[in-house]
Amino acid sequence: MAKYSNKINKIRTFALSLVFIGFIIMYGGIFFKSYPIVMTIFMLLGLLSIIFSTVVYFWIGMLSTRAVQVVCPNCNKLTKVLGRVDMCMYCNEPLTLDPSLEGKDFDESYNSKKTIQQ
Ligand SMILES: [Zn+2]
């Protein structure tokens, strides 16, 4: 069974790992000190990765403003739902905004591309 998690959390984790990957790439460049061109390429790639993560963070900010805030029925915390179905940020309880999907098994395929882009 696939492991689902809250979409905003997932993107945030992705952005954070990009920062780390960027630093690792830049750190890797140090091993090519005798090849300035290779080192520059490593530094640029690392920098690009960090810049990209900033863009992703910005994108999360945009997404969270469009996400619907709901109180999770399971843990009673305020969480954000993106798309038709999403998981609670805290307890991974499947949540839906569509009454017709209520009680059904969680399936991320309910999130059609059309729904997300609205
Ligand atoms: Zn919850």
More confident residue, 98 or 73: 73
pLDDT at 108 over 90: no
CA of 46 from ligand 1 middle (Å) equals 36
pLDDT at 112 over 80: no
CA of 39 from ligand 1 middle (Å) equals 46
CA of 23 from ligand 1 middle (Å) equals 34
CA of 9 from ligand 1 middle (Å) equals 13
Percent of the chain with pLDDT over 90: 64
Please enumerate, as own/partner, the contacts of 50-53 that have beta carbons within 8 Å and a separation of 24 or more. 50/18, 50/19, 50/22, 50/23, 52/18, 53/15, 53/16, 53/18, 53/19, 53/22
Domain layout of the chain by residue ranges: 7-66, 68-117
- pTM for the structure as a whole: 0.72
pLDDT at 115 over 90: no
pLDDT at 80 over 70: yes
Q: What is the pLDDT of residue 29?
A: 93
Average pLDDT over residues 2-30: 91
Report pLDDT digits (tens) over 37-63: 999 999 999 999 999 999 999 999 999
Strand partners, 23: none
Average pLDDT over residues 78-82: 93
Beta carbons of 89 and 95 less than 8 angstroms apart: no
Q: How far apart are CA 92 and CA 8, in angstroms?
A: 12
CA of 103 from ligand 1 middle (Å) equals 16
CA of 25 from ligand 1 middle (Å) equals 37
pLDDT at 2 over 80: no
Q: What is the pLDDT of residue 87?
A: 93
